[in-house]
Amino acid sequence: MQLSTKHLLGIRDLKSSDIQLILDTASQFKEVLQRPIKKVPTLRDVTIVNLFFENSTRTRISFELAEKRLSADTINFTASASSVSKGESLLDTVNNILSMKVDMVVMRHSASGAPHFLAKHIPAAIVNAGDGINEHPTQALLDAFSISEKLGTLQGKKIAIIGDIMHSRVALSNIYLLKKMGAEVTVAGPPTLIPKYMKDAFDINVEYDLKKVLEWCDVANVLRIQLERQNQVLFSSLREYSLAYGVNKKLLDSLNKEIIIMHPGPINRGVELDSDVADSKQSIILQQVENGVAVRMAVLYLLAGGGANQN
Ligand code: CP
């Protein structure tokens, strides 16, 4: 089977069959990654550039590792160390790189829509590694993979996304994906951090009470306060945010069930999540990171035109 799309720009326009194909292919790559020799020759002679115009730890390393595991040739580009700092445009930068015969572009950019703009102007396949406050599709795919691994399915599962929903590309991609795959979604946080249009636009629940949403859900995906994307005061202080919306052990122990705790990282320990929760057996945060490599291998492989078994 093949993907119905040339690029991975977001989850919004992805078919549920594409999502399922990526998750199934990632399972095969996860099995490859358990072997003593973790490398396969699948993308030999494919050249991929990782264009990061914004900081990243997990996504950048994960894509690079996925490319190396698939035997692709990789080039890493950091905006601050490039001619972008001399005023070169995004399109000129990318066209110069592509003239060196690059097949695929993985891009993170602070401007929402930057990868969509590039997709209209260049022939290479583009993977969105996070664009502004728009989407972070591979994060949503690895989150879905991790939930399915724990619970067997996404269908009918109750997923809470808690925190700074307004500025989160992780929240948006997760909402699109979880709804397409039959999960129930509630977003929770302070009213000032949840856009009013969301409830009706996405057919999701909105909850402002942390205890209530934790009592409801099977999985809590806790998000960071994205201070770098906020240009106005939307809550009184980090301390007060933490008192009202910080997930801590006492709160989890007061529930009559054990829920799964997720976080895309980086964590602000002691703000949205306490250390004794982040590091507990309820937390699958490091499993999310581990699964990110297999999921990104699947995305790159499928966009490169793959579709056969991985053995
Ligand atoms: N989850 C995530 O995107 O982390 P990085 O910003 O470190 O890539």
The domain limits of the chain are 11-135+291-303, 137-288
Q: Is 56 in the pocket of ligand 1 (CB under 6 A)?
A: yes
Pair of tokens at residue 271:
């703000």
pLDDT digits (tens, 9 = 90+) for 110-135: 999 999 999 999 999 999 999 999 99
Percent share of the chain, pLDDT over 70: 96
Atom of ligand 1 at shortest range from CA of 129: 3
pLDDT of residue 130: 98
> Are 245 and 210 contacting, i.e. CB atoms less than 8 angstroms apart?
yes
Q: Is 57 in the pocket of ligand 1 (CB under 6 A)?
A: yes
CA distance 104 to 305: 12
pLDDT of residue 308: 44
Helix, coil or strand: residue 271: coil
Q: Is 139 in the pocket of ligand 1 (CB under 6 A)?
A: yes
Q: Is 228 in the pocket of ligand 1 (CB under 6 A)?
A: no
CA distance 1 to 223: 34
CA distance 30 to 259: 24
Nearest C-alpha neighbor of 48 from the set 9, 97, 3, 14: 97
Helix (H) / strand (E) element for 117: namely: helix 114-121
Q: What is the mean pLDDT of residues 92-99?
A: 90
Distance 161 CA to ligand 1 centre (A): 17
Distance 129 CA to ligand 1 centre (A): 9
Residue 298 CB neighbours (<10 A): 29
Q: Check whether 160 has a pLDDT greater than 60.
A: yes
pLDDT of residue 310: 46
Q: Check whether 309 has a pLDDT greater than 60.
A: no
CA distance 145 to 141: 6
Residue to substitute in 50, 58, 78 for testing ligand 1 pocket (most ligand atoms within 8 angstroms of CB): 58
Smallest CA separation from ligand 1 atom 1, residue: 264
pLDDT digits (tens, 9 = 90+) for 242-276: 999 999 999 999 999 999 999 999 999 999 999 99
Distances (CA, A) of 258 to 95, 138, 179, 289, 295: 51, 27, 23, 22, 26
pLDDT of residue 82: 80
Q: Is 110 in the pocket of ligand 1 (CB under 6 A)?
A: no
Smallest CA separation from ligand 1 atom 5, residue: 56
Given 3.40.640.10, 3.65.10.10, 3.40.50.1370, 3.40.50.720, which CATH number is that of 137-288?
Answer: 3.40.50.1370
CA distance 245 to 239: 10
Q: What is the mean pLDDT of residues 55-82?
A: 94
CA distance 261 to 159: 10
Helix, coil or strand: residue 31: helix
Q: Is 58 in the pocket of ligand 1 (CB under 6 A)?
A: yes
Q: Check whether 52 has a pLDDT greater than 90.
A: yes
Q: Which residues contact 177 (CB under 8 A, 6 or more apart)?
A: 11, 14, 19, 140, 141, 143, 144
Q: What does CATH list as the number for 11-135+291-303?
A: 3.40.50.1370
Q: Is 25 in the pocket of ligand 1 (CB under 6 A)?
A: no
Instruction: Check if 11-135+291-303 and 137-288 are the same fold.
Output: yes
Least confident of 69-73, 80-84, 174-178: 80-84
Strand pairing class (73-78; 47-52): parallel
Q: Check whether 176 has a pLDDT greater than 60.
A: yes
Q: Is 195 in the pocket of ligand 1 (CB under 6 A)?
A: no
Q: What is the mean pLDDT of the chain?
A: 94
Distance 265 CA to ligand 1 centre (A): 6
